[in-house]
Structure formats: structure tokens, C-alpha cells
Structure 1
Amino acid sequence: MADEDDSEDKTEDPTQKRLDQALERGDVVKSQELNTWFVIAAATLVMSTFSGSIGTAVLVPMRNLIANSWMIHTDGAGLLALARSLSFAVIAAIGVPILMVMLAAIAGNMMQHRLVWSGEPLKPNFGKISPLAGAKRLFGKQAAANFAKGIFKLVLLGTVMVMILWPERLRLESLLHMDVSELLGVTISLTKHLMGSVVALLALVAIGDYLFQYRQWYERQKMSVQEMKEEFKQSEGDPHVKGRIRQIRQQRMKKRMMAAVPKASVIITNPTHYSVALAYERGMSAPVCVAKGVDNIAFKIREIAKAHDIPIVENVPLARALYATVEIDAEIPVEHYHAVAEIISYVMGLRRTLSGHPR
């Protein structure tokens, strides 16, 4: 019941990360019918292409063996040499066709998924030997699909074979009276016809089975809402942690700004909301913003400025513009040079006057 509830909760489409993890642990789309089709198709191609050359390659050494049988040594070494030569002849005759069938089997897997090297399927899983798991495999959706598929193939292939062989029934009866040389040609012709029809029909079965297996695999990879949240936290970071980090950064920036306010030359402010602290010394190309803020931070900047006798100049539009366009530790934009220069000049003149050194 718990497994059923878990599967019902998994309603979200899998992410690419989930699909990659399934591939890494060897959980891939696997249609045995598609593999079977590739092997049968390759065998049919091999038979139709290499049957003559295979027959000739095997016939020649066998004919020589029979013709020269009187020369064969019957001792152990002689029989071993004979077996070795016959083995080489058979391997040379069927080596390439067998290799083609093997490559077709590999291609059947690669058509479904890329090659995977995983030891996960080899690990012991005691859940697979439980009676409940066995009952699910016997009476589950996969077992029902395999049973229906087997019945369908049996009926379909049986029907096709009857349709092909029934018109040839008289010809098949005459095989009993045919010469051996003629019998081989007729047999090869009928076999090619049957195999071609089987390959065509099994292609339909293979396509249908692959689509079914893919759907089953995709359903297994589906995720619950909680799993989606956990994966998002792992990939993007916990929102609470990110919020805390952002808060710490803002606090550090605020402390750094407040520590820099006493170095400012002037505070340009909108008395109710904005404060921008600018520092300027002779030789600098332009004033630099050392601190800025709104509301409580703006009030704190003004408070520190008063404590350190830093001039505060009220200029509503300039305060707003500087706050919006200049970053901390950056020079003011060119378009504000003139307005800020007037304020800096006024402040410097005021300081000289207060210090007793008139212009």
C-alpha cells in the first residue's frame, strides 16, 4: 500500500537531472523486442547475402576431406590436426556473418540508449525476492503486457506463415521427390520469404513494445512535489540559506558604509528619505560615493556626519539622482559633475572660512 501511495504522489515530470541519475545507475529503457528484431533482421540479411559463400566455404574442405579420407591419420595428433583445420574453415566461413549479428545486437541496445557502465544492477536487492514483489511481477502491468504481446506475436506470425506456406503446399509435397541439389534452392527461397515477412511484422511489434517500455520507464522516473523541492534546494541552494547569506552581506555592506562616512567630504541629502556621502580630495578626477541609503540608513548617515562635523547639504533632485545612478566606491556620473562641483566648492570655501583662512 505504501508503494502505491508513493507512486500516486509522483505526479511531476522528471527533471533532466533525475533522468541522468537513472541512466548512471543503469535504469534505462529496455525493449527486448527491439533487440530481437535487430538480431533477426541481421540474420536474414546475412542469410540472403552470405548463404552462397558460406556454403561454398564449408563445402570445399568437406569435399576434400571425403575425397582424401584414406590419407587421414587416425592417431591422436592426426585427429587433432584435422579438427583444427576444420574449425578454422568453419570460423573463416561464418566469422563475418556472426560478427554482423553481434554488431546488430549492440546496435539494438544503442538505438534505445547510449552505452552505460554501471554496477548498480549487480548489487543485491532483497526486495526482489520477496513474495509481494514476485506477485507484482507476475500479475503487474509489465507481465500483462508481455502476455498480450506473446499472444499477439503467436497469432500474427502464425497467420503470416499460413498465408505464405498454404499456396506452396503442393510444392512442399513435391520436395520428397526432388533431387538434393534442387531441394536446397527451394528451401533457401522459402526461408528468405518467410524471414522477410517475419522481420516486417516484428518491426511493428518492436516499435509498439519500445513505446510501451519508454512510457513505463518515464512513469518510474516521475517525481513527487517534495522531491522536486529537494532537488531544487540541492541545485539552486536552500532559499532560506540564500536569504540569510544576502542578509549578512547587506549587514556587512552597511557596516562598511558607516565606517566610511567619517571620510566623506559632504553629505547630499533629501531630508526625509535619501542621503549620499561623497568624498573628494585634490588630485581626484571626480568625487567618489562612499555611502548611500534611504530612510533609516539615510538617517544613520546624517547622524554620523553630524557627529564628525561633516557638512550636510540639502538638494532633493541631486540626492535622488545620485542615489539612483552611482554605486558605492564609484565615481559620480559625468552629468552630475557641475552640480556636485558647486557643492564641493562651497563646502571647501566654508571650511577655509571657518578655519580662519579666507579666500
Structure 2
Amino acid sequence: MLSMDLQYFSGEKTEKATPKKRQDTRKKGQVPKSTDINTALILLIVFIFLFVYAAVPAKFMQDLFYETYINYASLSFTVEDTMGMFQGIVIQMGIVIIPILLVAALTGVIASMVQVGVLFAPEVIKPKLSKINPLKGFKRIFSARALVELVKALLKIVLVGTLAFGILWMFRDDLLMLGLYDVLDGYYVVSLLTGMIGVASAILLLILAIPDLVYQRFDHEKQIRMSKHDVKDEFKKMEGDPLIKAKRRQKAQDLAMQRMMQEVPKADVVITNPTHYAVALKYDDSSMTAPKVIGKGVDYMALRIRKIATDHDIAIVENRPLARALYDGTDVDDEVPEDLFRAVAEVLAYVYRLENETKQRGN
């Protein structure tokens, strides 16, 4: 008991984050996300796309060399001609590069959505003076997290470099013969090797990113932990919010009203006032010691109860004093009070007699 009290007053964060705390941190953009996953997926999809797309850059390079050595060589290099030449090259390069950039951007968006879902957190991009504080920046550079990131980066460089060297070594004969190929054949050999290195490196980085994602989620859970005092304060604030209380009461009333309306078709009789009040009664001598109120309402709700009774052929009996007494003196699921037994019994006897007469006439 003493240790629990010490934890409470010391503010030690031992409790898991509440749903509200998770929602608040998510609104601030604080979500468990691995940038390594995004980077690896972007590299993988882009290099796979380049395998399919390789012919387009090849055609562009071929046309560029042709234009350079055949058409541009005959130009008089004035300012206008030079600007026109560069504009044409830039436009053509844009047409070639834009699809690659779009694939990379779309992959990055999808990778982020897979990790954190749809999230718009404008607070993340708000300017904060603390972000340009040199002291805090210095602390970040020499923090334990920065050291871990440095080790991770060095490990990636070594592993990816080793992988790339291994692939180049496997195709060393083709590389040595590269000078004997024509331009297009040489381009396709280099493109194939580049694509293979890119895809293999991306898969390796993706495998290495899985532990990072696990760590990011573990670290996020640790960062958003709460103390017992925080949990208690949050609960008090939520309970004390009039809007939340009102919403809860309204929701509870709606659910209770829905359940009540589902029970009304099971009633034996509905006693009315005749328009302002309606009380639905049910009696089963095998399971009940007294008739039970299974629904009641006033004004519009009374109208709905009468409508349901009419639709289900339930007897409606007008008895103003009894309807008002039942409405004021009972709640839904209550048994009829003893002082109203006689009046209710007379009504039920009347209803049962009508039902018997109807059955006899039907026979």
C-alpha cells in the first residue's frame, strides 16, 4: 500500500495510456512510425517500376545524344538558341522523371497510411522556437537516440555495400566487356545491374526496418505512459465535462427507449389517458407474481406506444386515473403497486374476456 501511494505522489509513469491520451497524442502527430519502412518501400517500388520503365529513359538518352551531335552542333550558339536548347532538354527530362517521382510519392503516402492510418496533424508543421534552440539541438546530436541512429546508418552502409559488391562481382565479366557493347546494349546492362542492386538493397533495408518498427512502437508506448495521478485527473475532467455527461445521458436514454419500444409488442394491454399518457402492461401468471410495466410514455411517446399497440392488435383501454397513477408511480420493468392491483386486475379481466369472445366468434 505504501509503495502504491509513493508511486501515486511521485508521478511515476507506470500506467498504459488511456484512449483519450492516445487520441490527443495522435492529433499532435505523435504516432509510432518507422521512416526506414517508408524508405525501403519507396526504393523497392521505384526500382521495380524502373524495370518496366527502363525503355523510356533509354529512348530519351538516345534522342538526346542524337540531338546533341546532329542538330545542336549546327546551331549558332546565341543566347536565344542556347536558352531554347536547354528549355527543350529540361522539358523532356521532366516528362521522363515525373512518373518516377509520382510513383515514389504515392508509395511514401501509402506506406505511411499503412503504418498510422489516415492522419492530418497541422500542429506538427507549426513553427516552434524550441526547434531552433541550439542547446536542444546539441543535446539531440549527442543523445543516446542519435548514437543508435548512427550505428544503424553505419550497419546499413556496410550491409548494402557488401550486397552491391557481391552483385557486381557476380557480373564482373559483363562489366569488363562493357566497352565492346553498343550504346543501347551497354545501357541495358548497366540498367539491369542497377535495378538488381536497387531491389536487393531495398529488400535488405526492409528486413532491417522491421526491428526498427517494433522499437518505435515500444518507444512510443513508453513515451505516452501515464502516472496514476494523470489517469485520475483525466477521468475527473472527462466526468466533469457537462457536454460529455449530457451525451452519455442522451445515449443511455435513447438505448433505454429503444429497448422499451421493442418490448411494447409483447404487452397484454395499453392503458391510456386517452391522448397524453400511455402505459403498456404485461402479465404472465407462470413467471410473474404481479403485472409488470414494460413501457410508458407521455405525449409523442404515448402516441408511438398506441401506434405500436394498434399495429400488433393489442387492446387499448382508456382509464384516465389509472393511466396517470401508473405513469407517476412506476418505472419501466416495475411491478404494479399493491394499491393498484384491483384496478389493473379489472382491466386485464376485461381484456381477457374480450379476447375469449373474439376467439369464440372466430370459431
Fold shared, TM-score > 0.5 on shorter chain:
yes
Q: Do residues 196 (structure 1) and 233 (structure 2) align?
A: no
Q: Is residue 81 from structure 1 mapped to residue 118 from structure 2 by the alignment? A: no
Post-superposition shift, 1:179? 4.8
Structure 1: gaps of 5 or more residues: 243-281, 292-324, 342-359
Aligned to 1:124, which of 122, 125, 128?
Answer: 128
Q: How does the TM-score come out when normalised to structure 1?
A: 0.61
* Equivalent residue pairs, number: 261
Whether 2:106 is the aligned partner of 1:103: answer: yes
Alpha-carbon distance in structure 1 between the residues aligned to 2:47 and 2:10: 43
More divergent stretch after superposition (72-81 vs 28-37): 72-81
* Worse-matched range after superposition: 11-20 or 118-127: 118-127
CA displacement, residues 185-231 of structure 1 (integer Å, 9 cap, x when unaligned): 32222222211211111111122212211211121111111111111
Structure number with the bigger relative contact order (C-alpha 8 A, sep ≥ 6) is 2
> Residue 11 of structure 1: SS of its match in structure 2?
strand
Q: Does 1:234 align with 2:271?
A: no
Equivalent residue, structure 2, for 1:218: 221
Unaligned runs of 5+ in 2: 1-7, 246-318, 346-363
Q: In structure 2, give the amino acid aligned to 1:119.
A: E
Partner residue of 2:164? 161
1:138 paired to 2:142: yes
Deviations 1:227-254 (A, max 9, x none): 111111122238xxx9xxxxxxxxxxxx
Q: Are the structure 2 counterparts of residues 127 and 227 from structure 1 closer, same or farther at C-alpha, using a change threshold of 3 Å?
A: farther
Residue 37 (structure 1) shift:
0.9
Listed one character per residue, the Cα deviations across residues 60-89 of structure 1 (whole Å, up to 9, x for unaligned) are 254134322355343333332222222222
AA matched with 2:17: P
Deviations 1:134-177 (A, max 9, x none): 4465232x234313322332332233233323333344334355
Partner letter of residue 14 of structure 2?
Answer: T
- Alignment partner of 1:13 is 2:16: yes
- Judge conservation of contact 2:167–2:197 (CA < 8 Å) in 1: yes
- 2:331 is aligned with 1:284: no
Which amino acid counterpart does residue 337 of structure 1 have in structure 2?
Answer: F
Instruction: Give the share of equivalent positions with the same residue, in percent.
Output: 23
CA distance in 2, matches of 1:236, 1:6: 22
Query: Over aligned residues, Cα RMSD in angstroms?
Result: 3.8
Aligned partner of 1:115 in structure 2 is 119
Does structure 2 conserve the Cα–Cα contact (< 8 Å) formed by 1:23 and 1:116? Answer: no
CA distance in 2, matches of 1:6, 1:122: 34
Contact 1:58–1:90, Cα closer than 8 Å, also in 2? no
SS of aligned partner of 2:122: coil
Instruction: Sort the Cα spacing of 1:176 and 1:28 in 2 relative to 1 into closer, same or farther, 3 A.
Output: same
Mapped to 2, the partners of 1:56 and 1:138 lie a distance apart of 49
Task: Check whether the contact 2:40–2:203 (CA below 8 A) recurs between aligned residues.
Answer: no
Aligned residue among 69, 80, 87 for 2:72:
69
1:128–1:134 CA contact under 8 A, matched in 2: no
**Which residue pairs with 1:29 in the alignment?**
32
Distance change >3 Å, CA 229–CA 96, structure 1 → 2: same
2:36 and 2:209 in contact (8 A); partners too: yes
1:61–1:335 Cα change, 3 Å: farther
* Aligned residues of 1:54 and 1:93 also touching (Cα < 8 A): yes
**Which residue matches 2:342?**
338
Contact 1:31 1:209 in 2 (8 A): yes
* C-alpha contact 2:28 2:124 (8 A) present in aligned 1: yes
Indicate conservation of the 8 Å contact 2:48/2:199, yes or no. Answer: no
1:313-324 correspondence runs (5 A): none
Given the alignment of the two structures, is residue 206 of structure 1 paired with residue 243 of structure 2, yes or no?
Answer: no
Greater mean alpha carbon deviation, residues 39-48 or residues 70-79: 70-79
- What SS is found at the alignment partner of 1:195? helix
- Using the size of structure 2 for normalisation, the TM-score is 0.60
